[in-house]
Amino acid sequence: MPDSCIIPHFKAYAELAPFEAELLKTLELNPRAYSAGAVVRARGEHATCFFTLSSGWAYACRDLADGDRQVLDIFLPGQIMGLREVGHGCSQSNFVALTDIQVCPFPKARITELFDESTRLADLFMLTMAREQSILIERLVNLGRRPADQRFAHFLLEMKARIAPDASTFELPMSQGFIGDALGLSSVHISRTLKSLNERDLVAMHGNQVRINDCRALSEFANFDATYLDTDTTWVRRHNGDKRSA
């Protein structure tokens, strides 16, 4: 069984009391493997659980009548998939493995039990949902108001910030068609846009390796301001030792 993957994720928000860490661990008890491309849960399926993503990448998407599709989220290890669907009996989107993955399903009701055990965890879940919303908002701006080249650049910068904030190169395990589906562009246009970004020395891609030499220049170009990914945690209460905070 792999080490808990979501704990470091939550620790980014606040120091966890030992009993809180234990509680979070209970969300990752039932690992299940899917290989790249496999559907973890399809739109319309009965949605009774969430999934923690223990390893690999996954995504949520919606298929449209005309064969187009829109990629909605990209999940990295440690994230919880499906939180958005607490209030839906049936899944609103497809959850798919982007690479080979391992996920741990746990029942929705487990969340409320967690809240009962530690209201600080409720605070932290609130934070994670808020951060997800911030990412969605930024994507909305991207789709609504930026031309293809800036849109693509912004996407790459967000990915870099989430995966490898301090490296100049990182791995992006997705095809150009997939990127197009995330950005509301055709795969052909992604190809051309990439070429143009490359010619302007802003981005280099070889296979799945992305290289961004001048991050400042690219951020400038794309109007990328990473603060939407930050989380201010000063308002979160400190934990009070290994005791229930009733």
Footprint of DNA on this chain (CB under 7 A)?
Answer: 147-149, 151, 175-177, 180, 184-189, 191-195
Dmax (CA) of the chain: 59
Least distance to DNA from the beta carbon of 193, Å? 7
Least distance to a second copy from the beta carbon of 206, Å? 27
State how far the Cα of 97 lies from the Cα of 59, in Å rounded to an integer: 6
Least distance to DNA from the beta carbon of 196, Å? 9
Taking each helix axis from N to C terminus, what angle separates 176-183 and 187-199, rounded to the nearest 10 degrees? 100
Which range, of 29-37, 98-106, 206-214, 232-240, touches a second copy by CB under 8 A? 232-240
What Å distances lie between residue 214 and 85, 109, 225, CA to CA? 39, 46, 15
What x/- string results for residues 45 through 64 when contact with a second copy is judged by CB under 8 A? -----------------x-x
Which range, of 19-27, 88-96, 163-171, 193-201, touches a second copy by CB under 8 A? 88-96
* 12 near a second copy, rule: CB under 8 A: no
Q: Residue 144, exposed/middle/buried by CB under 10 A (0-12, 13-18, 19+)? A: exposed
Read off the DSSP letter of residue 240: -
